[in-house]
Amino acid sequence: MKVSEMRALSDAELQKKINETREALMNLRFQLAMGSLTDTSALRQTRRELARLLTIQRERQLSIVRESEK
C-alpha cells in the first residue's frame, strides 16, 4: 500500500489497518521462530508499513492538537 493510499484512509480504517498489520507482523515472527518463514524480507516490509501507518496516525493527532490551540 502506498503512502498516498494510507493517507486517504479514514481514522477508523487507519486503525483497522494498523491492527491488521500488527497481527501480520506477529504471525511472521511466529513463523520465523518456528523456522517456516521463507521470505524474511516480509518482516522488514511489514515493520516499515506499520511505522508508516503509525506516523500518519500521529500526524493526524498532532494536527488536531495544533488546531485546538489556535
Tell me the average confidence (pLDDT) per consecutive run of 10 residues in the chain, 70 residues long: 93 97 98 95 98 97 86
pLDDT at 67: 85
CATH topology of domain 3-69: Helix Hairpins (1.10.287)
The residue length of the chain stands at 70
pLDDT at 65: 83
> By the 8 A CB rule, do 31 and 9 touch?
no
Where in the chain are the domains? 3-69
Grid cell digits, residue 46: 511489514
pTM exceeds 0.85: yes
